[in-house]
């Protein structure tokens, strides 16, 4: 069966093969048995109506994806994420108030392991020891390894760090969303920094959620930098995709570029 995969917008993880498309078909688009419109972000849902109308001329249309609360019970490498990006587990045992994962994917469950160098699991370190070991074994054959799905800092143990030592690591991501997350983050960085530098140890810092302020957010971002990680500000979006203010958007852009982050913190140190 020949399947076209269609994406409303392009990201760094969108497939790039000849049967993957972004947006509307053109005059030279061939016929397919099925057309799968994959929607990751809720803010792309308004585009789906037009995509469905135009793409049904080229095959039977099916619509799905994270934006439609797909649980993601299966994963096929290269199908809806570009080749090299893998997901070895779904769900999460935690119930963070700002996170959609438990509502969308449910409790943690392990999937078959595909080969790839970008690990996009929501909480890999919450998996069983045997599963984690199997993932690391697969990664020994990979280069430029990016744990972009993120590690839960409190689960970064000495044993995990020793397993990471033998891998060709590009980036290890963790999170610092609330002040009470600082201690586990600091402990994890202390362990990781024995073998990895601050260009490899990255931190997602959620900003702009309810009762957050620019001052509080900047404090978290600076602390993440001082602890020994390179932070990346992630602007919070609620389930209704309520627009953030221009001020928050500008602030997020300043804290999303490594060169600017280092310059801002260097200047801060001279005050």
From 3.40.50, 3.10.20, 3.30.870, 3.80.30, which CATH number describes the 71-268 domain?
Answer: 3.80.30
Domain segments of the chain: what residues?
3-66, 71-268
Residue 152 has pLDDT above 80, yes or no: yes
Banded pLDDT at 106 (limits 50, 70, 90): confident
- Give Cα 154 distance to the centre of its chain: 19
Residue 250 has pLDDT above 60, yes or no: yes
Residue 270 is predicted with a pLDDT of 44
Model pLDDT for residues 40-67, shown as the tens digit of each residue:
988 899 999 999 999 999 999 999 998 8
The structure's pTM equals 0.89
The per-residue pLDDT of the chain, averaged, comes to 92
Calculate what percentage of the chain has a pLDDT beyond 90.
Answer: 75
Residue 271 is predicted with a pLDDT of 46
16 vs 198, more confident = 16
Q: How far apart are CA 214 and CA 220, in angstroms?
A: 10
Q: How far apart are CA 137 and CA 132, in angstroms?
A: 9
Residue 101 is predicted with a pLDDT of 80
Residue 240 is predicted with a pLDDT of 63
Estimate the share of the chain in helix, then strand, then coil, as percent rounded to the nearest 5.
35, 20, 45
């Amino acid at each position: 069966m020949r399947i076209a995969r269609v994406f409303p917008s392009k990201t760094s993880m969108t497939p790039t093969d000849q049967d993957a498309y972004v947006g509307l078909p053109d005059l030279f688009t061939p016929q397919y048995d099925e057309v799968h419109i994959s929607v990751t972000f809720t803010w792309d849902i308004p585009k789906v109506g037009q995509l469905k109308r135009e793409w049904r001329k080229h095959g039977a249309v099916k619509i799905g994806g994270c934006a439609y609360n797909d649980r993601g019970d299966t994963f096929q490498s290269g199908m809806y994420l570009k080749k090299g990006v893998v997901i070895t587990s779904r769900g999460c045992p935690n119930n963070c108030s700002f996170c959609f994962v438990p509502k969308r994917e449910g409790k943690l469950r392990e999937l078959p392991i595909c080969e790839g160098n970008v690990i996009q699991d929501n909480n890999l370190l919450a998996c069983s020891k045997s599963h984690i070991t199997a993932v690391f074994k697969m990664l020994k054959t990979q280069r430029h390894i990016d744990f972009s799905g993120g590690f839960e800092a409190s689960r970064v143990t000495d044993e995990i760090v020793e397993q990471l030592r033998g891998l060709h690591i590009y980036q290890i991501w963790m999170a610092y969303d609330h002040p009470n997350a600082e201690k586990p983050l600091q402990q994890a960085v202390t362990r990781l920094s024995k073998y990895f530098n601050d260009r490899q140890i990255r931190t997602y810092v959620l900003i702009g959620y309810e009762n957050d302020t620019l001052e509080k957010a900047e404090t978290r971002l600076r602390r993440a930098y001082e602890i020994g990680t390179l932070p990346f500000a992630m602007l919070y979006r609620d389930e209704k995709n309520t627009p953030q203010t221009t001020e928050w958007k500008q602030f997020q852009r300043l804290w999303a570029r490594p060169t600017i982050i280092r310059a801002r913190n260097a200047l801060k140190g001279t005050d």
